[in-house]
Structure 1
């Protein structure tokens, strides 16, 4: 498998699972992942929020972990990366106000590189104007933003994922198994499962 270089856009109060799980899983299969946040440097951290589904009309929110960044936003160039991951949570709401973040998202869309977004990550896709003619899943409350940006909001089960060309989306973290599997498919990642060796 050829290792890919993946950029992950995060910010304060990114959803805990949606940053931790993809970051670790993509490293586990051999890819390089650089997690960055505007105005923060490698070694600094962002605070995460835990969003859960407990029978209320929307998700509940609780304090999460501190997630340590491993690259510096000001030093990265989108052209150096093979793919982009956008976790959800509250971060996309304010990250979309940053013109450099918008340019990064547009780069991956315009160059047709693999782009994975989950939950509220669609807010960045919408703000970047990259959803025209695309089918996109997201947290249901983001559906109107997808439609307003010219995309087709697809209402999936919370544990399902969607591929449209280079774009891989899902409603929320229960979709991680299918979302990450779909992203690896779009990346062209092939995981070999050697038979167990008895000693």
Structure 2
């Protein structure tokens, strides 16, 4: 397996599982993952939030862990990366306000590199204007933004993932097994038993 260099865009109150699990899983299979946050440096931490599905009309939110960044946002260059991961949670609603975040996302879309977004991560894709004509399956509350950005929202089970060309999306962390497996396929990664 050739090692891929993966950029992960995060921010305060990113969903805990949606940053921790893919970060660790992609490292585990041998890829390099650089997790960055606007205005933060390697060694800084961000706060996470735990979103759970407990029978209410929407998810609940509780404090999560601290997550340590391993790269500095101001120093990264999108062209040095093979793929992009955008976790969900609360972070996407504010990191999408950063023009450089949007430029980074546009680079991956324009260069046809694999992009994995889960839950509210599609808010960043919509703000970057890269969903036109694409079908994706983020958390249902993001469907209006997907449609307003010219994309198509497809409803799928919470534990499923959807692929449209170089984009793999999923509604929430219960989809990690499918979402990460499909992302690894886009990366050309083969996991040997």
Structure 1 unaligned runs (5+)?
A: 194-199
Once superposed, which parts of structure 1, at least 4 consecutive aligned residues long, lie more than 3 Å away?
Answer: none
TM-superposed deviation, 1:52: 0.2
Q: Which residue in the other structure is 2:159 paired with?
A: 159
User: Are 2:19 and 1:19 equivalent residues in the alignment?
Assistant: yes
| C-alpha RMSD over aligned residues | 0.3
Under a length normalisation based on structure 2, what TM-score does the superposition of the two structures give?
Answer: 1.00
* SS across alignment from 1:112: coil
Q: Which residue in the other structure is 1:100 paired with?
A: 100
Aligned mates of 2:79, 2:121 — CA distance in 1: 21
TM-superposed deviation, 1:39: 0.4
Spell out, residue by residue over 1:138-178, the C-alpha distance to the aligned partner (whole angstroms, 9 max, x if none). Answer: 11000000000000001110000001000000000000000
Q: Which residue in the other structure is 1:54 paired with?
A: 54
Aligned length: 193
Aligned mates of 1:83, 1:45 — CA distance in 2: 23
Residue correspondence of structure 1 range 29-48 to structure 2 within 5 A: 29-48=29-48
TM-superposed deviation, 1:137: 0.6
TM-superposed deviation, 1:183: 0.1
* SS across alignment from 2:183: helix
Under a length normalisation based on structure 1, what TM-score does the superposition of the two structures give?
Answer: 0.97
Larger Rg: 1
TM-superposed deviation, 1:53: 0.3
